[in-house]
Amino acid sequence: MTQKIAVVGLGYIGLPTAAAIAAQGVPVVGVDVNDTAVNAVNEGRIHIVEPDLDAVVAKAVADGMLTATTEMPAADVYMIAVPTPFLADRSADLSYVERASKSVAAALSGGELVILESTSPPGTTELMAQWVHEARPDLEPGSVLFAHCPERVLPGQVLRELRENDRIIGGLTPEATEKAAAVYRIFCVGELLPTDAKTAEFVKLVENSFRDVNIAFANELSLISDRLGIDVWHAIELANHHPRVNILTPGPGVGGHCIAVDPWFIVAAAPEESRLIKTAREVNDHKPEWVLERAQALLADKPGATAALLGLAFKKNIDDLRESPALEIAHELVTRSADRQFVVVEPNVHEIPKALAGLGNVSLAGLDDALAQADVVVLLVDHDEFAAVTSETLVGKAVLDTRGQWRDR
Ligand SMILES: NC(=O)c1ccc[n+]([C@@H]2O[C@H](COP(=O)([O-])OP(=O)(O)OC[C@H]3O[C@@H](n4cnc5c(N)ncnc54)[C@H](O)[C@@H]3O)[C@@H](O)[C@H]2O)c1
């Protein structure tokens, strides 16, 4: 019997997942509280930016395999991919998961599988099962299966990674793990790694904390090297010649809504034991302020000169500005130097971001144009386009390169 799958939350994760399953000929209903997302999908369009996804969605909708709705339908499998941001105290905001679980609960009749895909603190899948059974005391305990299967795709590569990445499959019971694995086998050729729900929740957070701690180490080295008058890029390059050393590249801070958020869920769950993870978060959160101080010192040496700020995205070669340290630094610099003109260059966006739009002393420009105008240049993101800048172009300019992209200039 063909199962009917409902994917709850049609954002950066839910929509590609729904499309990947529908593309295998399994009927999928996408559910979202946002009419714009639902209408777009039903018209065979997409409302997010992800390469090639438009064609996959258009075909799945045309084939009748993918539809979208704001009403929770009856289904055999529910996959929940709603946001899990953090609250002011940096604990996880589970209100989206709770609301989604309760609306799924209303559609259940027993025998279904509910999979949580949202990145969540350890214990959330168990909590989800409690919410469902509190909302539906008529359902037999154990009659609905629950699992956590975290997502680890890279934006820009989502369709390929959904198919190829290994997946952690953590059921609340072994039966839930087994049934959830069968769902991922529909579209995933990577290894399916069975475990329990709490371990699956923890492992996802561990992966991003690993990245964060390693980036913090590189960022801390950049501060130490600056204090000691050592070129950090050269020092890291030399250290990485050791066969078992692989230090990452320092940068202006850590952004996006995964690496900068997920470690806090571990800290909130075990504050006394998470000293290294917490300190790494603090080191990375402090880095934009340090860059800002260096940039302001550079500007002070060139009174009145136009400054070019290169890159606004939270990492290279993407258009995502969410929680971007580069954007934060640009905003602060422009605001604090109201009497100076700034040009920002972000090859991946076509209009000046809202955070800068209201400020009178900044405009968006192309790279050549910006470099022709500016006597101060701050490189904030190592987009590929910036690698082509020659040392001749930079002669006579005050330069701050936060990514080491021009270290050999
Ligand atoms: N984007 C990524 O690269 C990425 C990678 C790995 C993990 N994650 C995790 O996946 C989860 C989803 O992230 P995302 O980037 O897809 O978020 P998103 O904001 O792009 O999409 C979430 C969608 O859920 C919808 N929604 C909210 N409440 C709902 C409800 N009660 N019922 C139905 N729909 C509802 C929203 O309208 C939105 O369309 C998060 O936990 C995130 O941390 C994201």
Query: How far is ligand 1, taken at its centre, from the CA of residue 266, in Å?
Result: 20
- Dump pLDDT digits (tens) for 219-268: 999 999 999 999 999 999 999 999 999 999 999 999 988 999 999 999 99
Three state DSSP letters for 162-198:
HHHCCEEEEECCHHHHHHHHHHHHCCCCCCEEEEEHH
What is the tens place of the pLDDT at every residue in 364-404? Answer: 999 999 999 999 999 999 999 999 999 999 999 999 999 99
Cβ–ligand 1 distance for 309 under 6 Å, the answer no
Q: Does pLDDT of 1 surpass 80?
A: no
**Tell me, what's the pLDDT at 2?**
64
Q: Could you list the active site residues?
A: 204, 258
Q: Could you tell me if the CB of 31 is within 6 A of ligand 1?
A: yes
Q: How much is the pTM?
A: 0.93
Contact (Cβ atoms closer than 8 angstroms) between residue 308 and residue 374: yes
253 within 8 A of 332, measured Cβ to Cβ = no
Locate the ligand 1 atom nearest the alpha carbon of residue 15 and give its number: 16
CA of 29 to the centre of ligand 1 (A): 16
Can you give 244-304 as a three-state secondary structure string?
CCCCCCCCCCCCCCCCCCHHHHHHHHCCCCCHHHHHHHHHHHHHHHHHHHHHHHHHHCCCC
pLDDT tens, residue by residue, 34-49: 999 999 999 999 998 8
Q: For the chain, list the domains and their CATH numbers.
A: 5-190 (3.40.50.720), 244-401 (3.40.50.720)
Taking only the tens place, the pLDDT of each residue in 70-97 is 999 999 999 999 999 999 888 999 999 9
- Residue 404 CA: distances (Å) to CA of 219, 232, 250, 289: 12, 9, 8, 18
| 156 confidence band (pLDDT: 50, 70, 90) | confident
Is the minimum distance from the CB of 20 to ligand 1 under 6 angstroms?
A: no
Pick the atom of ligand 1 nearest to 96's CA: 28
